[in-house]
Amino acid sequence: MPSRWADTEEDAAEEAQRKAEKKRIKAEKAQKAEKARLAAAQARANKPSNDREDDSDRPAKRRRVSEEDDGGQDERTEGAAERKLLRWEVPTWSPCRSASLFERLNHIEEGSYGYVSRARSKDTGEVVALKKLKLEPFRDGGFAVTALREIQCLNASKHRHIVDLREIVTSRAGGQGSGGIGDVYLVMEFIEHDLKTLLEDMPEPFMPSEVKTLLLQLGSAVEYLHDHWILHRDLKTSNILMNNRGEIKLADFGMARSVGDPAPKDLTQLVVTLWYRSPELLLGTKIYDGAVDLWSLGCIFGELLLKDALLPGKNEVDQLSKMFELCGIPTEDSWPGFKRLPNARTLRLPPPGKAQTGSIVRSKFPTLTNAGAALLNSLLSLDPTKRPTAKEMLSHPYFTEDPRPKPTAMFPTFPSKAGQEKRRRQDSPDAPARGDAPRLQGDLDFSSIFKGRETEEKGGGFQLKVG
Amino acid sequence: MGPPAPPLHLANSLASPMHLETSLSQLQDLPRNVGHAIRFESARLTQAAGILLRLPQEVIAQAIVILQRFWTGPDGGNPLEQDAKDAAAAAMYISAKPSGTPVSAKQILTVFAYLASLRGDYAKAQPANNDSQTAELHFTQGQYEVARDRLYKVESEILRVLGFQTHVALPYTLCVNYLQTLEVFQSIGGSKVAKRAIAHLNSALLSPQLLYLTHQPSALATAAIYLAAREVDVKLPEVEWWEVFDVDREELGFLVVGLTSLEGFASECKQAFSHQVIQMTAEDLRLEMEQQELVQEAA
């Protein structure tokens, strides 16, 4: 087959004829259009120029565009002026500025990946959050890959519900042999609260309308990340910041990385803080996707309602047992193929029919509407393929039924701990440290986890052994 | 209202006019052609190392763009102070590290040591297959530690100079996407056009005009397709199809000339340095230049 765009002689002849015909029609049309445009211009000239309601010149313009479409080549000279090419604001790069341009005000928090403090820019007076990275070139093989990914992911994520990374500054330790750039600080917008501290200090949990607003904001941030092929991998309430206008911003991308399709082969299972870690990660899956973030969202949803962590496991095994207690024991029906996951081989589950395989989310949250419980249940599906995507979550009926999401401007304000005083040390576990994912330890008997749930059921628990 | 924010995954940070005015080749103590040659040679070295390390071309291309950024601008690297081969190794390390195909410091150092032994003739590079070769390249623990510390140091220096701007959007997938849009694959020679276009995009990484630092990936992809189609003689639409990809005629023309001129530049480079090796360490480079000065004074 010749090229689609190749010309033969017949083609050329035909083309010429068609062109001549078109030209004639075009000329007629152009004449008409010109008349219309003149008339429009006349009309416009007679009107005050700021009269935006009356777009009397619009029709003529539109007609010209459509003519150009069926017009082909000979109209080009006239059309050229009309065509607008997409142009972007072009960013550039410049070396890191010095950290001495910022004056430290107070310490906010220390996490596994760095110390955060509140600081003021000496140039602009603006208050920012400074996150000092913990760098140990020997341990990390140069500049830590997690820090590199955090910076790359934050740079690639510009969204109203994701914390804004302004720049990176360094305290360049001078002289040779000092090993490079000294300390590295991420300069980010300062946000007054984190959801974890806020929940601890609030006398009452958030109202249903407020929970919806928070979840919608969070969902939109996660949707944005997943759309851009980024997994956050450490969603939890202490990583969600909230300002005094009821807006939340996702922070701490220390675990984030960009992925592709198919997923990269070197994904680690040791991600997400234990309480928010999904069952497939606990069972040692080598390949996972955005569904791990959706599980975390489910845990956060529950925590917003309860004002307390939904699944506060003491260790990996306890985490699994808490999960199964709430969501039911997985079966080949509810989660096809889960038994083939590396850590599932050592999992001894009660025989089918003897234990609870259904979820008790409905009864645990009696005040939640049916739609709300359905959403929570789907986010907490043990089978990752049954969890909704962030986009699907956002269009869930829960968000459109009453009570409607509360406008952020109507949110109550709270005194900021980060802004004023030293913060208490968090008692939630940290994100997992680098290294090999541990196998599930111990030989634990889970038979007691269903006590009080199915009183008629005796024994029939399950055991976990490390093989 | 200003222009819209760029789609971050498709757009690159570009060199500013200030960057270009004060680049490597304009450094006072470095002749222009030597500056160009070092850029070219260090990019070639990176490409060769990436192939030996079996890295995907995306990772290699990103490393070369990072390296080119490092050589650019008033605060950029100076090959009289910074060994060009170390900069290339560190750029490769930075690029591979967060990717799906990370490589260890040891792998990088070994491959670069091997390539240094070839003295510029990278076409000869073979994956190590005999024992004598690997034995030669074996570092002692002490040598390795020194080399590794230098790698880490250059790595953080590059990150600092770039302000951590290591994101590189590449034109390869856009190129395939555009070819599909133009229905090129349905014509005879379609896949040949694609191969030529990709080859042009790879060559452009070595361009002394820094095409990847001055043009967005969409423009590079469009120009590569335009040129490839003409070379293979496959017809493209007779309208200004490049405007569909938001490239204007002027930019297209400039890029096509840039892509075409590369071969000439490369052979010129090869000829000019036929009797000598382009020095890839700061010390050798300084010595070389002192010698040349002496020669010139004597003449």
Q: What angle do CA B167, B168, B171 make, to 5 degrees?
A: 155
Q: Smallest CA–CA separation between B266 and chain A, in Å?
A: 28
pLDDT of residue A59: 39
Residues in B 152-181 with any Cβ partner in A closer than 8 A: 152-153, 155-157, 159-167
pLDDT of residue A70: 44
Give the pairing of strands A240-242 and A257-258.
unpaired
Helix (H) or strand (E) holding B92: helix B84-96
Most B CBs within 10 A among A15, A76, A94, hence the mutation to make, goes to: A94
Count of beta carbons in the 10 Å neighbourhood of residue B253: 12
Q: Smallest CA–CA separation between B297 and chain A, in Å?
A: 35
pLDDT of residue A436: 62
Residue type at A434? Answer: R
A5 → closest Cβ in B101, B153, B236? B236
- Give, rounded to a whole angstrom, the gap between the first and last alpha carbons of chain B: 61
pLDDT of residue B23: 63
- Least Cα distance to B197 among B215, B213, B214, B185 occurs for B185
Question: Touching check for B142 and chain A: CB below 8 Å?
Answer: no
- The CATH fold assigned to A193-418+437-467 is Transferase(Phosphotransferase); domain 1 (1.10.510)
Q: What angle do CA A239, A242, A244 make, to 5 degrees?
A: 160
Give A204-230 as a DSSP string: SPPPHHHHHHHHHHHHHHHHHHHHTTE
Domains of chain B, with CATH numbers?
Answer: 16-167 (1.10.472.10), 172-259 (1.10.472)
pLDDT of residue B269: 81
Q: Which residues of B touch A85 (CB under 8 A)?
A: 243, 246-248
pLDDT of residue B163: 93
- The 3-class secondary structure across A22-86, one letter per residue, is HHHHHHHHHHHHHHHHHHHHHHHHCCCCCCCCCCCCHHHHHHHHHHHHHHCHHHHHHHHCCCCCC
The percentage of chain B sitting over the pLDDT mark of 90, rounded to a whole number, equals 53
Q: Which residues of A touch B238 (CB under 8 A)?
A: 5, 73
pLDDT of residue B124: 73
Instruction: Tell me which DSSP letter residue A162 carries.
Output: B
Mean pLDDT by runs of 10 across the 467 residues of chain A is 58 67 68 64 50 41 40 46 76 90 89 83 94 88 92 92 95 54 91 91 90 96 95 94 92 90 83 93 92 97 94 93 91 89 83 71 91 95 96 95 88 77 55 68 56 44 48
Q: Are A85 and B247 a contacting pair at CB < 8 A?
A: yes
**Extended strands (E) in chain B:** none
Whose structure tokens read 């991998």? A233
Share the mean pLDDT of chain B: 86
User: What pTM was estimated for this model as a whole?
Assistant: 0.81
pLDDT of residue A290: 94
Cβ–Cβ under 8 Å, residues B110 and B47: no
Q: Smallest CA–CA separation between A141 and chain B, in Å?
A: 7
- Asked if the model's pLDDT at residue B178 lies above 90, the reply is yes
Give the pairing of strands A463-464 and A347-348.
antiparallel
- Least Cα distance to B88 among B106, B117, B108, B72 occurs for B108
Q: Which residues of A touch B74 (CB under 8 A)?
A: none
Measured distance CA(A169)–CA(A148) in Å, rounded? 14
Measured distance CA(A430)–CA(A370) in Å, rounded? 33
Is the peptide bond between B17 and the residue preceding it cis, with omega within 30 degrees of 0? no
Instruction: Tell me which DSSP letter residue A255 carries.
Output: T
Q: Which residues of B touch A148 (CB under 8 A)?
A: 94, 97-98, 159, 166
For chain B, counts of helices (H) and of strands (E): 13, 0
pLDDT of residue A410: 84
Measured distance CA(B222)–CA(B217) in Å, rounded? 9
- What the block records as the tokens of B135 is 């034995």
Most B CBs within 10 A among A7, A19, A68, A88, hence the mutation to make, goes to: A88
Per annotation, catalytic residue among A51, A201, A227, A234: A234
A158 → closest Cβ in B3, B8, B98? B8
Instruction: Tell me which DSSP letter residue A441 carries.
Output: P
Q: Are B155 and A88 a contacting pair at CB < 8 A?
A: no
Residues in A 224-253 with any Cβ partner in B closer than 8 A: 228-229
Q: Are B183 and A257 a contacting pair at CB < 8 A?
A: no
> Is A234 among the residues known to form the active site?
yes
pLDDT, tens digit, 9 for 90 and up, residues B137-150: 677 888 899 999 99
C-alpha dihedral, B14 to B18 to B21 to B26, nearest 10°: -100
A73 → closest Cβ in B160, B234, B239? B239
CATH match for A94-190 among 2.40.30.270, 1.20.1530.20, 3.30.200.20, 3.10.20.30: 3.30.200.20
Question: Touching check for B108 and chain A: CB below 8 Å?
Answer: no
Domain positions in chain A:
94-190, 193-418+437-467
Q: Is the pLDDT higher at B297 or at A34?
A: B297
Question: Touching check for B10 and chain A: CB below 8 Å?
Answer: no
Sequence length of chain A is: 467
Counting one residue from chain A and one from chain B, the pairs whose CB atoms sit within 8 A come to 151
Residue type at B104? Answer: S
The percentage of chain B sitting over the pLDDT mark of 70, rounded to a whole number, equals 90
